[in-house]
Structure 1
Amino acid sequence: MGLFARLLGRRDTGEDRSAGTGARRPVIDPAHGDADLTRLRAAVAAGSWDDARGVLDTAAGQDDLTLMVEAVADTTGAETLLAEALRAAPDDPLLQLAQGARHVSWAWEARTGARAKHVSEEQWKLFHARLESAEEHLFRAAELAPELLGPWYFLQISGRGASLDRNSARHRFEAALRRSPGHVPSHRQRLQQLCEKWQGSHEEMHAFARTSMLAAPEGSPMGQLVARAHIEHWLSLPVEEDAAYIGQEHVRAQLHEAADRSVRHPGYVRGRDWPVAHNEFAMAFALSGQPAAAHLLLGELGDRVTELPWAYWGDPVEVYQRTRLQCAGH
């Protein structure tokens, strides 16, 4: 049984083993501690599109703008602010993009994270209605400003929710890459599309992750795709097979290779959302029985815990804390 399995069992009980230790409980920060993302989310929450636009206008290129728009999209209530702004400026491509992105996020909120069989008919109707609205806004943004990357990134997510056919899904990914060939979030969405649980297979998923990593320069964040692919594969397996899979020597070797080409490479530059890759690698190393490797990344992260991948087990903060405690004693 692997380290992570010993730590948690196959399911998280929800018992906080850090209680009584005096340790401060981390808080998930959707802005990852980035000052601009924090100001942007605060402006949207306060209902000020002018202030939000001021932050968006400082974006350093299309990749950065798309990340910022995603922060807007994940802010509760943003759809109301954006609808009001759109009434005054219906042909503003950035507003159309932001509202489309928000409706994608809003759709998944309606669906919830429950298994499909536990989603009610009313939830499904709302999910698809919001996805349809999202696509209208996103295609309008793409029409108004063909150079924008954002519409094609978010259209990958809405398309997966709408069970778009394989060719159409690939088209959206390729459209994003024509605007930004090295856009890591678009590659992450494509990896999801290639998962066995969607329209792909383990073989396609792993091949895509490795090929994308090797095509990128060393020091690129693209190596995180390898860690994500192994976590996805592990998640798909029954309890009696998962630890054996991810603890295999070739899996461990691939994780180290990917980390050496990305988060552990001397040329690696941390972007605004750098904790995403670190959390992913930390969990993958812990799962594969490599606490020392996980400990180094967890030490760099400190309290910068992300919801995924830890939420696969229950309360992400509790799972993260226990994993950090266990790995510290490697």
Structure 2
Amino acid sequence: MSSASSTSSAIGSDQDPVFDPFDALPGLAPLRVAAQDGDWAATQDFFGGLGPIDDVSFAAGALAGIDGIEGYLEEAADALPGDPLPRTLLAERYIHIGWTIRSRASAEHVSRDQFEQFHAWLRKAEQRLIEVCAEQPTYAPAWTARLLTARGLQLGQSEARRRYDRLSAHHPHQFRAQSQLLQQLCPKWGGSWEAVHGFAQECVSAAPDGSLAGVLVAEAHVEHGLDLSDVAGTEYMRNVSVRNELRHAAQASVLHPDHRPGWPSVTGHSTFALAFSLGGHLKDAAPHFVALGNTAAESLWRYLDDWKNRFVKYRTAALATL
């Protein structure tokens, strides 16, 4: 059997990838059980056992997507007024509810009622987060969540950057926070492509080898390419300079020998796999699909029409190059 065939067989390139983080990442399973049981003590123990701040932020975002958990989080937040964790997790849940109501549609396709509900949920979250940040100004999970509320409440570029700077002063390479600010810097939220690419490169230059910062370069190029027309976007992603930037960023981050794989690594490999695939650089995409196995993160794939099937199609084509 050829190496390409054996790799394809091992990954199951014709199978649907697992996108649900709780199914894709076994280490997260206890958190889902705790949330579904409404067990705050188990939830607290889970977060207490986490190390890297990127894992804490990743788990907080994943937890927010579980339906119906706001009740037990509200009880915990009220019972433990001095603890930042339940209030921050509750705020993340409120934010998720709000963004779900708003949907991913462009603003002109979001109704007035949707916007009103969206903003109401974000204001509820912001109120909790303001309290946490005032009491514990170095608490990174709360500042990260406030980047989501800043964007949704349209508080502007300066306020978003202020919040990021408050966080990065104590946690300079927090990937989820960097990714959220990068979104804020996009033209669709009042920024510019110069700001987007500049911030991504700024983060890569400052970060140690093997960090997730290089993923921001891929996010920036995907956002830029998909903002153009179909033809112009394809040309942009196929550009040799873009390909080379992506290669360098991948080698400095998730493909670097010093990279320590963790939960956010799935997002990183998924984003690079998308960026290289959109540019037709299938051989470059292959190692990221290999690293993912049969797991994946929605990341920016959800921007594509029929994105799950396109993921499988790109993965099959990339693995055939091995």
- TM-score, normalised on structure 2? 0.91
Give the Cα–Cα distance (whole angstroms) in 1 for the partners of residues 24 and 240 of structure 2: 35
Asked if 2 retains the 8 angstrom alpha-carbon contact of 1:104 and 1:131, the reply is: yes
Q: Deviations along 1:271-306, whole A, 9 cap, x unmatched?
A: 222110001101111111211111121122111121
Q: 1:79 aligns with which of 66, 70, 74?
A: 70
Shift in Å, 1:68 = 2.5
Asked if 1 retains the 8 angstrom alpha-carbon contact of 2:13 and 2:312, the reply is: no
Q: Deviations along 1:134-166, whole A, 9 cap, x unmatched?
A: 000111122333331111101011100011122
Asked if 2 retains the 8 angstrom alpha-carbon contact of 1:305 and 1:317, the reply is: no
Unaligned stretches of 5+ in structure 1? 1-20
Q: 1:97 aligns with which of 88, 91, 98?
A: 88
Match for residue 194 of structure 1? 185
Asked if 1 retains the 8 angstrom alpha-carbon contact of 2:55 and 2:262, the reply is: no
Q: Deviations along 1:45-84, whole A, 9 cap, x unmatched?
A: 2221121111111121544333322222222112111112
Q: Report the number of matched residues.
A: 310
Match for residue 162 of structure 2? 171
Alignment-mate amino acid for residue 152 of structure 1? W
Distance 1:124 1:44, change over 3 A: same
Q: Secondary structure at the match of 1:294?
A: helix
Distance 1:63 1:289, change over 3 A: closer
Q: Deviations along 1:207-247, whole A, 9 cap, x unmatched?
A: 11112111112221111111110000001101221111111
Give the Cα–Cα distance (whole angstroms) in 1 for the partners of residues 239 and 210 of structure 2: 25
Give the Cα–Cα distance (whole angstroms) in 1 for the partners of residues 179 and 156 of structure 2: 18
Q: 2:201 aligns with which of 210, 219, 230?
A: 210
**Root mean square deviation of aligned Cα:** 1.8
Match for residue 282 of structure 2? 291
> Which structure 2 residues correspond to residues 91-170 of structure 1 after superposition, within 5 A?
91-170=82-161
Q: 1:273 aligns with which of 241, 244, 264?
A: 264
Give the Cα–Cα distance (whole angstroms) in 2 for the partners of residues 220 and 170 of structure 1: 21
Give the Cα–Cα distance (whole angstroms) in 2 for the partners of residues 22 and 285 of structure 1: 17
1:29 matches 2:20: yes
> Which structure 2 residues correspond to residues 294-305 of structure 1 after superposition, within 5 A?
294-305=285-296
Match for residue 244 of structure 1? 235
Give the Cα–Cα distance (whole angstroms) in 2 for the partners of residues 136 and 37 of structure 1: 28
Asked if 1 retains the 8 angstrom alpha-carbon contact of 2:54 and 2:264, the reply is: no
Distance 1:26 1:164, change over 3 A: same
Which deviates more from structure 2 when the two are superposed, residues 86-95 or residues 286-295? Answer: 86-95
- TM-score, normalised on structure 1? 0.89
Shift in Å, 1:113 = 1.4
Match for residue 40 of structure 1? 31
Match for residue 254 of structure 2? 263
Match for residue 174 of structure 2? 183
> Which structure 2 residues correspond to residues 221-240 of structure 1 after superposition, within 5 A?
221-240=212-231
Give the Cα–Cα distance (whole angstroms) in 2 for the partners of residues 233 and 316 of structure 1: 18
Give the Cα–Cα distance (whole angstroms) in 2 for the partners of residues 278 and 26 of structure 1: 14
